[in-house]
């Protein structure tokens, strides 16, 4: 992290260079094998969430059930570093599950969990989580968010070539079409961890390095504040407080 921060992107040239270098750092292979063809879209759109609801409880000799770690319906946010899955964009979840299965996003526990599942089953799980309401997550009410961090979310930072988070993740952090995840309502320790993994390149399954470049340009404090901001935003949405959120 320290090293990455010293090489703050200067003008466009530095950004373009980083964009070229990062994907090839992963042994010259693409960051994901998922291609958003008509077939892939259909697979995700037509998936049966009821099948997903059954699949998440199945335990085998090799692996625990999804619910053992993520909670029923992917909504147990209190376990450190385990992402919440409820309310997530289906296409994003599908891409992540495929990336774990293909070894594009290395994680021993997740690889073991999805190894045995077909693409249809991964799509069914994604549809199931997408159909669930956002969970309420634990967040320290005393943590303050600086105005500079809020600016970063809605206006970005031209000097560091950071696009506003909201321009991709949406005004409410609700995610967007294809593979942009909902980040509102994400558990704070996981959010911080995964941003650090993008920054160090340990997580490299983001197509076009969209997140690796941004995460590497952020400070640790900014990442922590962003995580708290989005956790609170999710809690406002899940408690029906969208209007209050809008006023801020």
Map the footprint of ligand HEC across residues 131-170, applying CB under 6 A: 152, 162-163, 165, 167-169
- Dihedral, 101, 126, 84, 228 alpha carbons, nearest 10: 100
Interacting residues with ligand HEC between 197 and 236 (CB under 6 A): 205-206, 210-211, 214, 226
Rounded to a whole number of angstroms, the minimum distance from the CB of residue 47 to ligand HEC is 12
Contact call for residue 40 and ligand HEC (CB under 6 A):
no
- Rank residues 169 and 236 by Cβ distance to ligand HEC and give the closer one: 169
Decide: is 114 part of the binding site for ligand HEC (CB under 6 A). Answer: yes
Pair of tokens at residue 40: 């892939």
Asked if 174 interacts with ligand HEC (CB under 6 A), we say: no
Window 71-110: residues binding ligand HEC (CB under 6 A):
81-83, 85, 93, 95-97, 105, 107, 109-110
Among residues 69, 136, 145, 245, the one that binds ligand HEC under rule CB under 6 A: 69
123 contacts ligand HEC (rule: CB under 6 A): no
- Tell me if 64 contacts ligand HEC by CB under 6 A: yes
Q: Which residues pair with 65 in a beta bridge?
A: none
User: By C-beta, is 126 or 240 nearer to ligand HEC?
Assistant: 126
Residues that bind ligand HEC (CB under 6 A): 56, 63-64, 66, 68-70, 81-83, 85, 93, 95-97, 105, 107, 109-110, 113-114, 125, 152, 162-163, 165, 167-169, 179-181, 183, 186, 191, 194-195, 205-206, 210-211, 214, 226
């Amino acid at each position: 992290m320290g090293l990455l921060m010293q090489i703050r992107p200067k003008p466009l040239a530095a950004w373009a260079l980083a964009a070229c270098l990062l994907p090839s750092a992963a042994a010259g292979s693409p960051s994901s094998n998922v291609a958003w063809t008509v077939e892939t879209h259909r697979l995700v759109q037509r998936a049966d969430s009821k099948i997903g609801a059954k699949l998440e409880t199945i335990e085998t000799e090799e692996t625990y059930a999804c619910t053992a770690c993520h909670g029923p319906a992917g909504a147990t946010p209190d376990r450190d570093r385990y992402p919440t899955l409820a309310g997530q964009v289906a296409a994003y979840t599908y891409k992540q599950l495929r990336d774990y299965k293909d070894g594009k996003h290395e994680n021993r526990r997740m690889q073991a969990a999805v190894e045995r599942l077909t693409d249809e089953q991964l799509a069914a799980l994604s549809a199931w989580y997408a159909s669930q309401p956002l969970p309420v997550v634990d967040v320290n009410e005393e943590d303050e968010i600086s105005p500079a961090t809020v600016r970063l979310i809605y206006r970005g930072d031209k000097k560091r070539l950071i696009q506003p988070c909201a321009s991709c993740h949406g005004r409410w952090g609700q995610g967007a079409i294809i593979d942009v995840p909902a980040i509102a309502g994400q558990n704070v320790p996981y959010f911080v961890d995964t941003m650090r993994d993008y920054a160090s390149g340990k997580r490299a399954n983001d197509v076009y390095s969209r997140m690796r470049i941004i995460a590497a340009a952020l400070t640790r404090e900014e990442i922590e504040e962003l995580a708290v901001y989005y956790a609170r935003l999710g809690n406002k949405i899940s408690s029906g407080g969208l209007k209050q959120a809008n006023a801020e």
